[in-house]
Amino acid sequence: MAARGFIKIAAVSLAALAVAGAAVPMLRHYIVARFNDPADLPALASDLRVHYEPEARACAQDVAALLPAALARVEAAQGRPFARAPIVGVYASYENYARANGLGDPGVAAVSRSGRVVLSPTLCGEERVRLPGILAHELSHTHLYGWRSSLFAARPPSWFTEGLAVMVSSGGGAEGVSEAAAADAIRQGYAIVVRGEGVWRDFASIPFESEPPQYPSRDGFATPRQRLAYRQAAMFVVWLRTRDGQGFAGLLRRLEDGESFKDAFTESFAASPEESWRDFVSHLSK
């Protein structure tokens, strides 16, 4: 009877999970990704952290060559070693990449999730020039969340996590949008919205106060809107760190300990994110 009861409970639990996955696309994609873990792919003998589809072996070797410098850059910028060694998955199939990235979207260049950096086939082909920057960008996310004490802690807002990653990677994710262009957009009223809370349902989205007009990026790839948002966010993060390096380091440690972003930010800088953003915007006008 006990065995039957366990089987029945397990079946009900799986059914409930399936229903939830069908109802919530984000959860469904996450479940699919758990069963398409890049760690299950073959690993390079020269660097066991790099896993790859057979057709992407040459690109995986390029990633392995870039990885030590990218890891060192992230650790230096974010102030401590990685909590655990990241795994990097290199894909040749867009379909398989979409299954593994947790979004179900083959169009994004890369994703960081659960200690894995998942790289799109485009970084081995059309967008190969972006590979060093995007690799470091995603490793920044992996580092920050690798130290988080709880998976259930509130997420920091995307303007901070993406701004941090663009800063650490020297522009990865914001290619083709200069600081001058981003500052000019702010002056014209096309500024990102800076708040103290993240949005878990759409954590990659950074809203604007007024939607900016679309304009072509220099290399023709990705979404100009997203790159503009990432560049503005990075400029703000750089300004915060330059103005108060000790406070910035303290913010990172508090976030890694699971504190809420708004409280950690205010404690670190003696001002709210919104107040600091207004100071930054005033600084741009000088």
Residues 6+ apart with CB under 8 A from 279: 271
Residue located via tokens 């690993």: 43
Domain end, chosen from 118, 146, 174, is at 146
Give the separation between CA 111 and CA 130, rounded to whole angstroms: 14
Q: Can you give the residue range of the structural domain that contains 61?
A: 21-146
Give the pLDDT score at 251: 98
pTM of the complete model: 0.87
Residue 255 lies in a domain: yes
Mark whether 26 and 113 lie in a shared domain: yes
Give the pLDDT score at 6: 41
Residue 42 lies in a domain: yes
Residue located via tokens 């070693």: 81
Residue 152 lies in a domain: no
Please choose, from the candidates 245, 280, 77, 274, the residue with its C-alpha nearest in 3D space to the C-alpha of residue 172.
Answer: 77
Give the separation between CA 151 and CA 224, rounded to whole angstroms: 31
- 253-270 b/e (C-beta count within 10 Å ≥ 16 → b): ebbbeebbbbebbbebbe
Edge-to-edge strand order for the sheet containing 43-44? Answer: 43-44, 47-52, 87-90, 116-119, 110-113
Residue 122 lies in a domain: yes
Structural domains in the chain (count): 2
Residue 15 lies in a domain: no
Give the separation between CA 83 and CA 278, rounded to whole angstroms: 34
Mark whether 128 and 177 lie in a shared domain: no
Residue 1 lies in a domain: no
Mark whether 84 and 135 lie in a shared domain: yes
Residue 3 lies in a domain: no
Mark whether 141 and 164 lie in a shared domain: no
Q: Are 241 and 233 in contact (CB under 8 A)?
A: no
Is the torsion defined by CA of 181, 157, 171, 269 positive or negative?
Answer: positive
DSSP helix/strand/coil, 192: strand
Domain end, chosen from 113, 146, 179, is at 146
Domain end, chosen from 146, 176, 210, is at 146
Give the pLDDT score at 168: 98
Mark whether 174 and 222 lie in a shared domain: yes
Print the SS3 string covering 113-163.
ECCEEEECHHHHCCCHHHHHHHHHHHHHHHHHHHCCCCCCCCCCCHHHHHH
Give the pLDDT score at 230: 96
DSSP helix/strand/coil, 274: helix
Q: Which amino acid would we find at residue 188? A: Q
Q: Are 192 and 207 in contact (CB under 8 A)?
A: yes
Mark whether 166 and 92 lie in a shared domain: no
Mark whether 218 and 189 lie in a shared domain: yes
Give the separation between CA 32 and CA 26, rounded to whole angstroms: 10
Any idea what DSSP says for residue 103? S
Mark whether 175 and 128 lie in a shared domain: no
Give the pLDDT score at 180: 95
Low-confidence ranges of the chain (pLDDT < 50): 1-23, 203, 217-222
Give the pLDDT score at 22: 44
Give the pLDDT score at 200: 53
Residue 136 lies in a domain: yes
Give the pLDDT score at 26: 75
Residues 6+ apart with CB under 8 A from 2: none
